[in-house]
Amino acid sequence: MTAGAPGALSIAATPNAGSGENDVFAATTASDGSTWAVGWDIDISTGNHNPLILQGGSGVWSLVSSPALAAGSDSGFSAITAIPGGGMWAVGVTGAGKVSTLIEYHP
């Protein structure tokens, strides 16, 4: 990920979930000033996607766990937004074969 003001961007180290590809698609800043980013990581043993959630503050990023989904699901987040006054919503897709909407709320 990159961090910093426009024109002064730098690379920020982020943890990976597993050993497969990790892709971030959206980020937002929470009311406490922390930054949250969402996307997916790819399980190299199955080729399926898993939800990827990262939380950053003071230049340090951490993986955040997502509620467990059905075994063999192919899931990930594509957007996240902070709600004024607190809380965040993340949205994406889940399912193997038949795709369903994935929505997660974090207070």
CATH number of the domain within which 54 lies = 2.40.10
DSSP run (H or E) holding 100 = strand 100-106
What is the pLDDT, as a whole number, of residue 3? Answer: 61
Tens digits of residue pLDDT in 63-97: 999 887 887 889 999 999 999 989 999 999 998 77
Cα 63 from Cα 58, distance rounded (Å): 15
Question: What domain count does the chain have?
Answer: 1
Answer whether residue 4 shows pLDDT above 80.
Answer: no
| 83: region left, alpha or beta (phi > 0 left; psi from -120 to 50 alpha) | beta
Residue 53: pLDDT band by 50, 70, 90 thresholds? very high
Answer whether residue 5 shows pLDDT above 70.
Answer: no
Answer whether residue 2 shows pLDDT above 60.
Answer: no
User: Domain residues for 35?
Assistant: 2-106
Tens digits of residue pLDDT in 8-36: 777 888 999 989 999 999 999 999 999 99
Tokens for 45? 């043993």
Tokens for 55? 């939380």
